[in-house]
Amino acid sequence: MVPPTPSNPKIVNLPRHVAIIMDGNGRWAEQRGLPRIEGHRRGVESVRRVTEECARLGIEQLTLYCLSSENWKRPPSELEFLLDLLQQYMIQQRPKIMEHNIRVTVIGRREGIPPETLAEMDNTVAASSVNTGLRVCLAINYGGRAELIDAVRKIAADVQAGRLTPDAIDEETLAARLYTAGMPEPDLLIRTAGELRISNFLLWQISYTELWVTEVCWPEFDEAQLHAAFESYAARRRRFGGLEA
């Protein structure tokens, strides 16, 4: 329980872990007659605003869906820009990440990501590993089905090697082999741009996550929108399949 602040009097029961599907960058740009890449560029500013506000409010973890495994279907020029933008973000935001005591982690497959981008990702993860504040988990080249496949492969290898018996496999066995092992499951999933779907994001982890959708596209998502999501979350009663006491 986090007490309300003077600027946010209604926020009293904050989520521990917030996940966001950052949608609508290209749509935002096209509506204004701009190239799609301008929407992605503006979206980086939204990432900064939301991350710093989550750190200020004492949120434990923020997971951002940056690049899905399906995004490789986009035009090569847009993908090249996205990967370059990611690389520049890792370099330019590193001082702010350290200043705000933020720990960065990355989940997803590394295949297909340029070596220079991977190097900057790894540098930021390593530099921020000593930080003790907000954990920002970036889902890059991530897909929920791919994550489950990779986890099942690890279980199969353990069974084949005799380290695990089939009868011993349970939910904890699988969860411990996901990319997110050791992280809390999301309490709140936010999706921007009004789309009502999960898009292959954290399929295992969001079984009992509260959902909040806004018509606002990601480049315009700001602290006020974040507070609205938190206020909606705080008003809900989470039963996890049981009955309220």
β-pair partners for 21: 65, 191
Task: Give CA–CA dist 142/132, Å, rounded.
Answer: 25
Amino acid at position 34, single letter? L
| Per-residue tokens: 100 | 């705000």
Q: Which of 71, 84, 131, 222 is catalytic?
A: 71
Q: Partners of 65 in the beta sheet?
A: 21, 139
Sheet holding 135-142, edge to edge: 103-107, 135-142, 61-68, 17-21, 188-191, 210-213
222 is catalytic: no
Q: Tokens 């290209």 identify what position?
A: 26
Per the annotation, the verdict on 187 as an active-site residue is: no
- Among 8, 23, 141, 187, the active-site one is 23
In DSSP terms, which residues pair with 188 in a beta bridge?
18, 210
Residues annotated as part of the active site: 23, 71
